[in-house]
């Protein structure tokens, strides 16, 4: 059965701005191409609003990357989730409707993974009743920083260059990779590991153990 990657808007936008969105599936080499990308129904009009399609992405080049990604992804629907679990997640402080749908969808089968850059949603998830939700999400949540760890393993030099060349995308990542001068690979790995480790303290086994991701 194909691995299902439920990708939130924040991850789509930031990876597109870094120019690495099209390489996302390289982080899941063990799947031999058997990966399904799923996105929120709102992704296209949120990320590429008709009034100004470059309002968020800042350039037509980035808009085209996002458009290409959305064209090959499947829209997530309510039919893919357990409604009771979705309602529990929707009621949780910090978890918006979109993130709740992604978490609920991933919980609905062993093959689901949520790729998220929403720190408020992660904090909200940590405050939930893990006896109920925890077992359904073990190893299923992958943070933006963990994805960047994966890209570092693929090509440290290229990843550092793209993050430092686009400092407006994510201030925390910019700090990790170096502002006035490039950080060493050792310091980059330590910085990313520190963030992921901090999230793991609150989410435990819910957080995926990768990279490498499965």
Band of residue 132 on the pLDDT scale cut at 50, 70, 90: confident
Distance of CA 121 to the CA centre of its chain: 12
Provide the b/e sequence for 7-21 (b: ≥16 CB within 10 Å): bbbbbbbbbbbbbbb
High-pLDDT (> 70) share of the chain, %: 100
Band of residue 40 on the pLDDT scale cut at 50, 70, 90: very high
What's the pTM? Answer: 0.96
The set of residues, in sequence order, having a beta carbon less than 8 Å from that of 99 and lying 6+ positions away, is: 8, 89, 116, 118, 121
Say whether 142 sits in a helix, a strand or coil.
Answer: strand
Task: Give the span between the Cα atoms of 55 and 143, in whole angstroms.
Answer: 24
Tokens of 188: 């980059």
158-176 residue pLDDT tens: 999 999 999 999 999 999 9
Give whole-number Cα distances, 114 to 84, 107, 140, 174, in Å. Answer: 19, 9, 6, 23
Which of 102, 113, 94, 97 shows the shortest CA–CA distance to 36? 113
Task: Give the span between the Cα atoms of 122 and 207, in whole angstroms.
Answer: 10
């Amino acid at each position: 059965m194909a691995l299902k990657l439920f990708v939130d808007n924040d991850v789509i936008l930031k990876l597109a701005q870094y120019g690495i969105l099209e390489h996302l599936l390289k982080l899941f080499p063990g799947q031999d191409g058997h990966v399904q990308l799923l996105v929120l129904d709102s992704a296209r009009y949120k990320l590429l609003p008709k009034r100004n399609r470059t309002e968020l992405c800042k350039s037509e080049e980035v808009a085209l990357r996002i458009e290409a990604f959305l064209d090959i992804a499947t829209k997530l629907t309510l039919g893919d989730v357990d409604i009771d679990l979705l309602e529990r997640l929707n009621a949780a402080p910090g978890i918006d409707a979109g993130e709740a749908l992604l978490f609920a969808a991933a919980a609905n089968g062993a093959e689901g993974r949520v790729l998220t850059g929403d720190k408020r949603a992660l904090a909200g998830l940590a405050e939930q009743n893990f006896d109920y939700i925890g077992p359904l999400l073990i190893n299923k949540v992958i943070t933006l920083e963990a994805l960047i760890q994966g890209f570092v393993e693929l090509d440290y030099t290229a990843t550092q260059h793209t993050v430092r060349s686009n400092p407006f995308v994510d201030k925390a990542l910019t700090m990790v990779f170096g502002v006035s001068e490039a950080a060493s690979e050792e310091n980059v790995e330590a910085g990313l590991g520190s963030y992921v480790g901090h999230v793991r303290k609150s989410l435990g086994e819910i957080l995926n153990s990768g990279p490498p991701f499965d």
